Chains A and B, each alone.
Chain A
């Protein structure tokens, strides 16, 4: 290596450490994002002899008039609004329960974490199998064991019920992820504080609401941010369980974008849909950042 003065070293060396990461990041993330933005303004031609034409905001305007975009947006919102609080509340409950017991902590932690480490493809196929009609296991329990349904429910053939397995899968698979993070945060709370509150006569709920929650607040906000992004990012389960059907009524933003781009070969429109989704997520993230003074405080 070249002999450099310590001053020069201090200036050059950080860039050398950054180099491989930044290079990959620029080529495979930043460039595609910029390129995608450009594609979203094109009527994209896949025929080499016919160039793509600039159509301005046409793709975006088309998206606003496309009823399926609104369907996909509605489904994405339904998914996010149900799965995010569902995961957070259940994960918090499980974490508090595990934190309160003395024996078998590691056992329960592992049990609730198993769905997290299982691939989306496998659990999606598993739920597809369980929710089959008429002979799926869920139908068997509802009809023959619990007698709450008189006949098997055709889960995946009706747009309303088809979202149910997808939403349930989102909650079921995600509980363990937030639980692990909450457990770590709970472990950092000194016991004395909770004991002092208990001696002062605070009920379990009051202790949670006034002592535990404020102390682990940043962690809760962190999971909220990550889960919201994850919710808007839902794709694999939809793609494999309903593939957006029946009649594209269970499309979410990403699956609709994917179908437009790679099934109907409309890349310009697909890119525009991508950026509409990105705009929603960025707006949400900025709003969350505003609620906190500095972004680092979350983490």
Chain B
């Protein structure tokens, strides 16, 4: 009874949130609906939300055709490897900034901060020539290196903020007992920072899985494409086969949702405790 009364008292709030929520998810529900319809019925008037003869045919066709599985694996390899590298390297650098005073500290940190403010896309032309020069065009390793590099400034910045708030006492105790800085970093700083590391991992993984412009520019070899490129090209080739395009899109969303759901319990606390002092 009590619950019902509070719900009723708050009903305008709930109605507004529901209305907005419908606008947020309706396009996705429509996307799922289209993906279940045979392609001839994708554009019809009046449109039907629940397909009468829905089938998974588009999903099977998308998954089996056009090297889709290769693209899926390429994306997974690039996103997972880049995430590991960028989180590890960012954490190491953030530890140096948070715990040491050394010549050049401010200069390096503000250079990172400055580059973070500028969209990384403005360097796409020279990066294109650099990749060519290094023999990294059409290379998944090339993508991993450049993805890691572009995500470093923001991640270092966020992790530094978190590390600075960790209590020093434990680390100092280990150092006094003769432990090395590496021990402190691996055994104390990293385990205490799980929420922040999870947050940074989620955002990095998502941005790598979705990255479009660099993959579009550096990769020509069809065998080395990642999912965003293949889905965009898929739409170009199968102009009106929207059911197929959306089936491919939905498949590519699965890892993001899975990753997000598994990491989510760390996620909000990671944001609140360290990343933003607001």
* Interface set of A (CB-CB < 8 Å, partner B): 1, 9-11, 13-15, 17-18, 20-22, 24-25, 27-33, 35-36, 39, 90, 94, 97-98, 100-104, 108, 111-112, 114-115, 117-123, 125-130, 132, 135, 137, 140, 144, 172, 175-176, 180-181, 183-185, 187-188, 216, 218-219, 222, 225, 229, 232-233, 235-236, 239-240, 254, 257-258, 261-262, 267, 270-271, 274-275, 277-278, 281-282, 285, 295, 299
Chain B residue numbers with a CB within 8 Å of A17 are: 92-93, 95-96, 100, 181, 185
Q: Secondary structure at chain A's binding surface: helix, strand, loop or mixed?
A: helix
Do residues A271 and B206 form an inter-chain contact, with CB atoms below 8 A?
A: no
Q: Which residue of A lies closest to B245 (CB)?
A: A125
* Interface set of B (CB-CB < 8 Å, partner A): 3, 6-7, 10, 13-14, 16-17, 20-21, 23-25, 27-28, 30-31, 34, 43-47, 88-90, 92-93, 95-96, 99-100, 102, 105, 108, 111-115, 117-130, 145-146, 148-150, 152-153, 156-157, 161, 180-181, 185, 206, 209-210, 212-213, 217, 228, 231-232, 235, 242, 245-246, 249, 252-253, 256-257, 260, 268, 271-272, 275-278
Do residues A24 and B152 form an inter-chain contact, with CB atoms below 8 A?
A: yes
User: Which residue of A30, A98, A180 contacts B271 across the interface (Cβ within 8 Å)?
Assistant: A180
How far, in angstroms, from A98 to B18 measured CA to CA in the complex? 11
Q: Which residue of B lies closest to A225 (CB)?
A: B117
Chain A residue numbers with a CB within 8 Å of B148 are: 24
Do residues A125 and B16 form an inter-chain contact, with CB atoms below 8 A?
A: no
Do residues A282 and B118 form an inter-chain contact, with CB atoms below 8 A?
A: yes
Q: Which residue of B lies closest to A273 (CB)?
A: B122
How far, in angstroms, from A8 to B14 measured CA to CA in the complex? 61
A/B interface sample: 6 pairs, CB < 8 A: A21-B152, A28-B130, A119-B253, A184-B271, A218-B277, A222-B276
How far, in angstroms, from A240 to B148 measured CA to CA in the complex? 25
Minimum CB–CB distance from B204 to chain A (whole Å) comes to 13
Chain A residue numbers with a CB within 8 Å of B93 are: 17-18, 20-22
Chain B residue numbers with a CB within 8 Å of A13 are: 96, 100, 181
Chain B residue numbers with a CB within 8 Å of A175 are: 24
How far, in angstroms, from A183 to B272 measured CA to CA in the complex? 9
Do residues A117 and B115 form an inter-chain contact, with CB atoms below 8 A?
A: no
Q: Which residue of B lies closest to A1 (CB)?
A: B180
Minimum CB–CB distance from A62 to chain B (whole Å) comes to 16
Chain B residue numbers with a CB within 8 Å of A267 are: 125
How far, in angstroms, from A99 to B122 measured CA to CA in the complex? 39
How far, in angstroms, from A27 to B123 measured CA to CA in the complex? 12
How far, in angstroms, from A144 to B117 measured CA to CA in the complex? 46
Do residues A27 and B149 form an inter-chain contact, with CB atoms below 8 A?
A: yes
Q: Which residue of A lies closest to B212 (CB)?
A: A236
Chain B residue numbers with a CB within 8 Å of A278 are: 118-119, 122
**Which A-B residue pairs are the 4 nearest by beta carbons?**
A219-B278, A28-B149, A119-B210, A14-B100
Minimum CB–CB distance from A170 to chain B (whole Å) comes to 14
How far, in angstroms, from A63 to B199 measured CA to CA in the complex? 41
Q: Which residue of A lies closest to B157 (CB)?
A: A299
